[in-house]
Amino acid sequence: MIIFLIGFMGCGKSTLGKRLARKIDYEFQDMDTEIEEKAGMTVNEIFAQKGESWFRKAESEFLHSLDASKNMVIATGGGAPCFGDNMEEMNRLGITVYLKMSPVSLASRLENTRSLRPLLKDLTPGVLPDYIGERLKEREVWYNKAKCIIKAESVKPAHVVALVFGAAE
């Protein structure tokens, strides 16, 4: 089974994903890292040199190349569910878990790592909470299609295990 962790930038998909995978002995993959390794450049460089649409195509190709029979935890990029048929594809391939976090929590977590993220790096810190609030509202149309939704502020791998394996039975 593939477990997809989805949610806004900064909600903790990669950190939780690694811990969850270790706990249940699944393989872990970070979608951004996979794309960066294949392209031989960082996400920032991809956006600057190839453009966002190239990156969105790479995300979609990555998802469509997955083998649903494998046991994997995948931390997706924050925008991945919101393009093309990616959300439908993830729901077809496995279990989607939306790590839901408030704009205020997201803004405080993203303050120091903004420079790594092409969509945030040129924003002034003061506008971050409003920007996140607006983007999140748009994106929740897709995020809310997840099979499981969990509050991300204090989530632990065991919570996801209970939710996912409960939902799969």
Closer to ligand S3P by Cβ: residue 13 or 100 = 13
Integer CA distances (angstroms), 50 to 37, 62, 85, 159, in order = 15, 17, 22, 39
* Smallest distance, ligand S3P to C-beta of residue 152, A: 12
How far is the C-alpha of 146 from the C-alpha of 149, rounded, in Å?
7
* Smallest distance, ligand S3P to C-beta of residue 166, A: 26
Give residues 115-154 in contact with ligand S3P (rule: CB under 6 A).
117-119
Closer to ligand S3P by Cβ: residue 71 or 115 = 115
Give me the count of residues in the chain.
169
Would you list the DSSP string of 47-81?
HHHT-HHHHHHHHHHHHHT--TTS-EEEE--TTGG
Site mask for ligand S3P (CB under 6 A), range 69-88, x = bound: --------xxx---------
Binding site for ligand S3P (CB under 6 A): 9, 13, 32, 43, 77-79, 117-119
